Amino acid sequence: MNNVLLGVSGGIAAYKAVDLARRLVQRGFQVKVVMSENATRLVGPATFRAVTSNPVALSLFAEGGAPMEHISLAREADVVVVAPATANIIAKMAHGLADDLLSTTLLATRAPVLVAPAMNREMWSHPATIHNLEILKERGVVVVGPESGPLACGEEGEGRMSDPEAIAEAVLHVLGMGSLLSGVQVLVTAGGTREPIDPVRFIGNRSSGKMGYALAATAARMGAKVCLVSGPSALACPGGVDRVLVETAEEMRREVVSRAPSSRVVVMAAAVADFMPAEAVGEKIKRAGRDKLTLELVRTPDILAELGATKKDEQVLVGFAAETGDLVEKARAKMREKKVDMMVANDVSSPGSGFDSDYNRALLLFAGGREVQLDLMPKTDLAARIWEEVSSLLEGKAGR
């Protein structure tokens, strides 16, 4: 487990650092926080303590604090992140000033350092700030952001701290995890399918495609070559992803089966319809003169089962099980039936997660019997956790 030391300086964006700490913890990092005195006036240390489950370091001379804490913190860290990084802490770092716990720790560490600047646009564009950042970059410090937009002072311009998700992704890159899937051919399915009843009606489901698109986008950021086979979705194609749009289950089957043999990893996140009308009518069915309408439904092709029956030993196959009760039992049965390496199971009736939500909770089941329970988190964070597990499965297959 990598150790992240999060330094929080006294900018109004300190509240965003709480979200950053949470995202890093959800990715499996051990996170410790050191706050400047001014930062504690904006966000309470207890908040970070609750999020990280670790004590928060506050002062060089804190009562009961560990002796030489700046040295121990500096040596334990695999990466140091300063977010927000004010003009003041950037200046201290550039010129080697050390007058509090955060600045002394930064001077003592030999770990990679990442800063996420946040300040007023005039301060950001000041020659002193520009010069200080140039000094830090020459020393190998990674600078993330800032972004343009509304500022705390009421003005508009460059100076907003980058989104916590972008900073968390940068941490992965700094630690070498940005290349976790470097060069791996990945196939991901997303969204629901539409099985036509007539030219204007179809059988479908509530899938938005958000989970599959998050998986595709995250895999691309981790260095994979990604093909996304997507049912109808309002989402834009993620950068660096080759997208193929389909509508029906049979269309999805055709595209997936043709691409699966050349893919090292196949992740079936799409909510493929289980049934379709036995026959689609060529003209719109009129309501006039009808009190009821009976449809004969037949099963759609079982794409996941077909892939499980034909997959190669070195290939990793991941399935999704969206259930509404007896989650573990149903997901385990599906896993055995489909012959997948990992099953991502979630209860879609659970409030605040599942279909059309930006959040999800999941239970990861593995062929060897291992289980990993993941609590409610953004689907982007869940995608990162899934790919970390996939990477471990790839390593295991390579070692056979």
Residue type, 398: A
Which strand ranges, in their side-by-side order, compose the sheet holding 113-117?
56-57, 30-35, 3-8, 79-85, 113-117, 142-143
For the chain, give percent helix, strand, coil, nearest 5.
35, 25, 40
What does the radius of gyration of the chain's CA atoms come to, in whole angstroms? 25
Q: Which amino acid type is present at position 131?
A: H
Bridge partners of 297, per DSSP, are: 277
Which is nearest to 233 in space by CA: 220, 242, 221, 246? 246
What residue spans of the chain are helical by DSSP H?
14-26, 37-40, 45-52, 69-76, 87-95, 101-108, 121-124, 127-138, 164-174, 210-221, 249-259, 303-310, 327-338, 379-398
Question: What CA–CA distance (Å, rounded) separates 256 from 153?
Answer: 51
What is the C-alpha to C-alpha distance for residues 304 and 319, in angstroms, rounded to an integer?
Answer: 7
Q: Are 383 and 365 in contact (CB under 8 A)?
A: no
Tokens read off for 196: 């036509």
Catalytic residue annotation: 153
Q: What angle do CA 74, 69, 132 make, to 5 degrees?
A: 45
Do 266 and 318 meet the contact criterion of CB atoms below 8 Å apart?
A: yes
